[in-house]
Amino acid sequence: MTLELFTVGEPIADTKAPRDVPINDRWNERKFRARLVNPANRRRLSVIIVGTGLAGGSAAATLAEAGYRVKNFWFQDSPRRAHSVAAQGGINAAKNYRNDGDSVHRLFYDTVKGGDFRSREDNVHRLAEVSGAIIDQCVAQGVPFAREYGGLLDNRSFGGAQVSRTFYARGQTGQQLLYGAYQALERQIGLGNVEQHPRTEMLDLVVVDGKARGIVVRHLITGEISTHMADAVVLASGGYSNVFYLSTNAKGSNVTAAWRAHKRGALFANPCYTQIHPTCIPVSGDYQSKLTLMSESLRNDGRVWVPKERGDTRDPRQIPEDERDYYLERIYPAFGNLVPRDIASRQAKNVTDEGRGVGPGGLGVYLDFADAIERVGRKAIEAKYGNLFDMYNRITGEDAYETGMRIYPAVHYTMGGLWVDYDLQSTIPGLFVIGEANFSDHGANRLGASALMQGLADGYFVLPNTINDYLADGPFPKVDASHPAAVEAEQSVRAQTEKLLSINGTRTVASFHRELGKLMWDYCGMERSEEGLRKALDRIPEIRREFWTNVKVSGEQGIYNQNLEHAGRVADFIELAELMCVDALHRNESCGGHFRAESQTPEGEALRDDENFAYVAAWEYTPEDVAPVLHREALEYETVHLAQRSYK
Amino acid sequence: MTSTETRTMSLTLNIWRQRDRTKKGKMVTYHVTDVSPDMSFLEMLDVLNEKLILSDDDPIAFDHDCREGICGSCGVMIDGIAHGPEQTAVCQLHMRSFKDGDVLDIEPWRSGGFPVVKDLAVDRSAFDRIISAAGFISAPTGTAPDAHATPVPKGDSDAAFDAATCIGCGACVAACPNGSAMLFTAAKVAHLGLMPQGQPERDTRVLKMVAQQDAEDFGGCSNIGECSAVCPKGISMETISRLNHDLLGALRAGAVPTS
């Protein structure tokens, strides 16, 4: 190594989970030991919440119901538009309504194993414990889940689970759950318990005497920059998949709130853990702005294949059976087309790397329904997947009943995020992080239908029971926007905004974002190697330098300026990208969504290294020319025993 | 395959430009070339914006986020039709719906209830205020009985779901000659009124939501049906009948209108 990649700091540990009682009792015990705040005192305590997705929306509503003064910020025009709205599949809960042997313990076990033994047992157990209450809560709000003819809730098996524990609302579960939380939030807004700040973006965290006390925001329509203070700050700002430019995330999804908190001292955990979803619609051209996911349920009936010969551009219907390679069925005869997401994705990359990919640019594989249609008839396939075939047709103009689909993997979710303890508090006292923005529950890989579960668990049931232990020390000394720490934060936001507008270079923000995204996809995507990561680590600082000297941001500060918003977000993505590559390079093992070429079994499967890497990598921010500092949190598995995943 | 065809198009776009809520706006003409039929409509605007930025011009503001037809952020009038020629959110509209040489008028939603924020972006906070008035079931966190305590007939649940799929984009208002928000309000009234959990507040809900809708700058509903015809989620006119049914029921039961 020419330059030091990172330095090692003090280990870090969660001190909030009561480890002195058995795992089944810890959550109850923590709730009991956490101090309470008298209802009359709650009115004197204010909480800032950034974000209105499943986590932020449910937390804002619940904390307001409890009597706290909530100030809620979001960047879209309405809280109903947070990207949770786009989740399709469903939400897991250990209700055991199917009497198929499900239990809290099984959901806990599946989630720890699915996370490839890189998550914290205490958190995952709690997630499974509260999962049932989430469904009860949503039903009480009027969420129209799928039902059986007897009027009871329907369940399905999802993502290869052996039990049917997934609740769903057609292919729009996220939308319906979000509207439940949104309506509860709007009710509190109407009652005057929530101060709302639509179309505002958090651009800095105000830390006073070591505690999170406020945020600096820019109003996206007027450009006004202002500081807001509170007794505690909650980030529910989502994941960072858009560091790859092309992902299934909404265009506005970004890491800025989390990253700026990181720069103020919050450790960022496991940034390299990203999830790549195998069944997305491939890129069609350079103008591509985002990728669209199609439910992976399609793999229940579709067969994945590519031509045996490279560069075979024939219409798929003209390629005879013996010239096709059904590679998943060939490599994994037991699981076939239903292998987990990471494996299906990586094999798609392998065959396209070999030059056997299909469609524009050769970045696609076929998902073929001809056999299924012959077996059960087109009507049955239409009934099951009609909306997905329609969506595919709308985007590609192709009739997938005739031609099959072309699919390719895309970044979909990020398991990494700001480090939090069992109370969901970051390393900055008073800063709590919930939902996808934290790292807490999914380890190195998230199971299907678990993101919605975690967002709502954090917002409805976990945070409202832990934040009081912190707020019991309040109200904290009164500080306002004139405090030197707040003034400094606001000035730094103004300075950055002015700087971005003043560079007036020759390259657009989007062109930097695209270049960064391509680099990350190539070297920190489905498969990572030391050689590739080092290439990325050489290039990213160059991109950063060029960005800050040659970017062209149009317009002014005092108007609705979407280009300026994007510029600030890309500046943060560039910094995050570097940390992701450092994290991916230091973790010389394969686990979950992180596949290191150097760490595989003789059969080419992911090989974990529990002896050296059974820890959470929590990174401390350092200035540009200083190597980041690694704080390790050791992971102990006292309940679920470490085992290698196998799908052969 | 159609997707690999290299046929490209040139189009003339007349686009509404307006600096902010207070300034007067006007139509400005732009020419775009090399438009691929596989581009989405918003990607075509992205390409135009990149050119505007590099030529020191102000890019066109338009709201958008998920770009998969579910968040409800996007929406423009194309040749006078909300979301354009296909019945889908404009982010899901692709350029293959147009042909070389087309001249398109692109405007923001037009309604007193939706003031223009900039260019093609409007303020739809009136919708949130309608929900805030009573578009919910009061069920504070932690108060819920077991999810199976109350069975819901599948037909009711499915109909509630159909109404609940409304994405709040505002196309219904933009398309309505009266600028009415009736379909939006009715979708929520129908969704919650069809669920057993929604019964206790059914009367007050419809009264308060309609009152808030009237307090905003929306017009009245005269059952024209343009709203449903352009709705990307196909919300049915039947929801409006349900709203009127509930409203009359609430008034006949002796409730005093709150507007």
The CATH number given to whatever domain includes residue B163 is: 1.10.1060.10
Average pLDDT on B101-112 reads 96
Give the per-residue pLDDT at A648.
Answer: 66
Give the per-residue pLDDT at A490.
Answer: 98
Contact B64, A251 (CB under 8 A): yes
The number of distinct structural domains making up chain B is 2
User: What is residue A569's three-state secondary structure?
Assistant: helix
Taking an 8 Å cut-off on Cβ atoms, the answer to whether B168 and A80 are in contact is yes
Chain A interface, mutation test: which of B68, B91, B97, B158, most A Cβ atoms within 10 Å?
Answer: B68
- In single-letter form, the type of residue at position A165 comes to R
Q: Provide the domain limits for residue B206.
A: 125-252
Taking an 8 Å cut-off on Cβ atoms, the answer to whether A81 and B65 are in contact is yes
Give the per-residue pLDDT at A360.
Answer: 87
Please give the Cα distance from A482 to A58 (Å, whole number).
32
Please give the Cα distance from A25 to A37 (Å, whole number).
23
B85 shares a domain with B187: no
Closest CA to A277 of A354, A326, A345, A178: A345
**In degrees to the nearest 10, what's the CA dihedral of A552, A554, A557, A560?**
-130
**What band does B4 get if pLDDT is binned at 50, 70 and 90?**
very low
Contact B58, A555 (CB under 8 A): yes
Please give the Cα distance from A537 to A532 (Å, whole number).
9
Taking only the tens place, the pLDDT of each residue in A385-406 is 888 899 899 999 999 999 999 9
Q: CB-CB: which of B46, B86, B197 is closest to A142?
A: B197
Average pLDDT on A170-189 reads 96
Taking an 8 Å cut-off on Cβ atoms, the answer to whether A394 and B92 are in contact is yes
User: What is residue A485's three-state secondary structure?
Assistant: helix
Chain CA centroid to CA A577, Å: 15
Backbone angles phi, psi at B113, to 5 degrees: -75, -10
Rounded percentage of chain B residues whose pLDDT exceeds 90: 94
Please give the Cα distance from A239 to A255 (Å, whole number).
7
Average pLDDT on A308-312 reads 93
Check residue A635 and give left, alpha or beta (phi > 0: left; psi -120 to 50: alpha): beta
Please give the Cα distance from A96 to B3 (Å, whole number).
45
Place of tokens 């203070």: A229
Taking an 8 Å cut-off on Cβ atoms, the answer to whether A141 and B137 are in contact is yes
Q: CB-CB: which of B36, B53, B135 is closest to A552?
A: B53
CA distance B67 to chain A (A): 7
User: What is residue A279's three-state secondary structure?
Assistant: strand
B232 shares a domain with B148: yes
B69 shares a domain with B185: no
Query: What tokens appear for B212 in the block?
Result: 């808030």
Is position B257 within any domain? no
Residue range A277-412 forms a domain whose CATH class is: alpha beta
Contact A61, A188 (CB under 8 A): yes
Q: CB of A366 within 8 Å of any CB in chain B?
A: no
Is position B152 within any domain? yes
Contact B233, B165 (CB under 8 A): yes
Q: CB of A135 within 8 Å of any CB in chain B?
A: yes
Strand order through the sheet with A405-414: A274-280, A405-414, A365-368, A303-307, A324-325
B101 shares a domain with B141: no
Place of tokens 């969704």: B191
Reported as half-sphere exposure (CB side, CA atoms, 13 A), residue B73 has a value of 25
Domain boundary assignment for chain A: 277-412, 484-634
Please give the Cα distance from A592 to A608 (Å, whole number).
9
Q: Which of A260, A341, A446, A569 is catalytic?
A: A341
Please give the Cα distance from A322 to A324 (Å, whole number).
6
**Dihedral over Cα of A427, A433, A437, A438: its sign:** positive
CA distance A140 to chain B (A): 6
B244 shares a domain with B129: yes
Taking contacts as CB-CB distances below 8 angstroms, the residues of chain B near A402 are none
Residues forming a β-bridge with A76: none
Domain boundary among B117, B138, B163: B117
Taking only the tens place, the pLDDT of each residue in A465-497 is 999 999 999 889 999 999 999 999 999 999 999
B108 shares a domain with B143: no
- Tell me how far CA of residue B174 lies from CA of A151, A359, B124, in angstroms: 37, 38, 11
B138 shares a domain with B205: yes
Give the per-residue pLDDT at B257.
Answer: 61
Q: CB of B138 within 8 Å of any CB in chain A?
A: yes
B176 shares a domain with B155: yes
Among A220-224, A283-287, A464-468, B164-168, whose mean pLDDT is lowest?
A: A283-287
CATH number of A484-634: 1.20.58.100
Which positions ≥6 away from B127 have C-beta within 8 Å? A78, B168, B170, B181, B184
